[in-house]
Structure 1
Amino acid sequence: MIEAVLIFNLQGLLRLTKFYRHYPEQKQQQIVKQVYQIVSKKSENVCNFVEGGDILGDRSLKIIFRHYATLYVVFCVDPSESELGILDLIQVFVETLDKCFKNVCELDLVFHIDKVHHVLNEIITGGLVAETTMPNILQAFEEQKKLEKNEIPVFFHDSH
């Protein structure tokens, strides 16, 4: 199961966080800090997964990540997940964002976080992989954009 998806910039600023299990806010902040410390210390020429130990409690955890330009994309998963499968999933996620935003960058994550979450929700539901086919994810993203464009704003006014 996927426990969390995190995206950091090189300075450690969190750009996306999605936990698939409930943790108190303080525990989430602790997890984020520990994961960033682990990922940021890794050299570019070593493998992209780390046994995370007990960051999320008593359970064994794997931290699987990829470094793209100014961002780290990190998936925290339980031992049942395949490291290579999750690396591929990260690649699908990033390539899909790249197509949605026409060369995704950190500012897209900051100013369009709702759309990023929509893409992530198409790929992962409840900590389980739901969709890995990029055309299907892109189609759902485009359909959501159409729905948003067709929404009619409702204005309330006081008739007094």
Structure 2
Amino acid sequence: MGALKCEQIHFVLIINRQRKLRLSKWYSPYSQKERTKVIGEISGLVLRRGPEMCSFLEWGALTVVYKSYGNLLYIMCIDPDDNELEALELIDHYVRNLDRQCGIACEWMLTFYFAWAYQVLDELVIAGQIQETSIKTVVGLVRAQDHLEWAAREETHSISSKILGTDTIDILDL
């Protein structure tokens, strides 16, 4: 895959067909009130569009790019000078990374494994700029983070067992 060159990604949203937000990542400053308004406006615009329509549209001074996978809409807002096809490719790349991590990028996965969805997105995009395009690298980085987290939990569990004794209930497991 060639290097993607979107200059600025302002936000990423994932919503279902009932307008329920499943993931949001903001790279430009928006207040909570503005975010709520943006989510409502964007989801309404995108959900009203038919499947035969183009996957990008002008929204104020920005461009909205979206793609549907099953019951979910993956939405990205970019600068109007950026290449919309590259943004579509990034959305597809993100979904393929989620598939590689969790088996399938579906609403259920986003509900229960949202931390992985954010981790994958954070490996792909940092501060609104594309950082990594290799699926293999992203999967390796996310798995390494998971391993470090698991090792830290094991170490905490081991320390608490030594402090509390082996016959006591581990308060960290409650």
Tell me how far 1:80 sits from its aligned partner.
Answer: 2.9
Separation in 2, partners of 1:21, 1:48: 22
Query: Is residue 2:67 matched to residue 1:81?
Result: no
Query: Which residue of structure 1 lines up, in the alignment, with residue 123 of structure 2?
Result: 122
Q: For residues 1-160 of structure 1, what are the structure 2 equivalents within 5 Å? A: 1-53=8-60, 60-151=61-152, 152-153=155-156, 155=160
Tell me how far 1:113 sits from its aligned partner.
Answer: 1.2
Tell me how far 1:79 sits from its aligned partner.
Answer: 1.5
Aligned AA (1:91): D
More deviation, 31-40/105-114: 105-114
Q: Larger radius of gyration, structure 1 or 2? A: 2
Separation in 2, partners of 1:139, 1:14: 28
Separation in 2, partners of 1:105, 1:37: 21
Partner of 1:153, secondary structure, is: helix
Aligned AA (2:148): L
Partner of 1:107, secondary structure, is: helix
- CA deviations over 1:21-52 (Å, ceiling 9, x no partner): 12110000000000000110111111100011
Separation in 2, partners of 1:110, 1:153: 27
Unpaired runs of at least 5, structure 2: 1-7, 165-174
Moved over 6 A (4+): none
Greater share of helix residues, 1 or 2? Answer: 2
TM-score (norm. length: structure 2): 0.83
Identity %: 29
What is the alpha-carbon root mean square deviation over aligned residues? 1.6
Query: Which residue of structure 1 lines up, in the alignment, with residue 167 of structure 2?
Result: none
Separation in 2, partners of 1:81, 1:134: 22
Separation in 2, partners of 1:122, 1:80: 24
Separation in 1, partners of 2:62, 2:72: 22
Separation in 2, partners of 1:74, 1:103: 18
Unpaired runs of at least 5, structure 1: 54-59
Separation in 2, partners of 1:52, 1:6: 15
Separation in 1, partners of 2:122, 2:95: 13
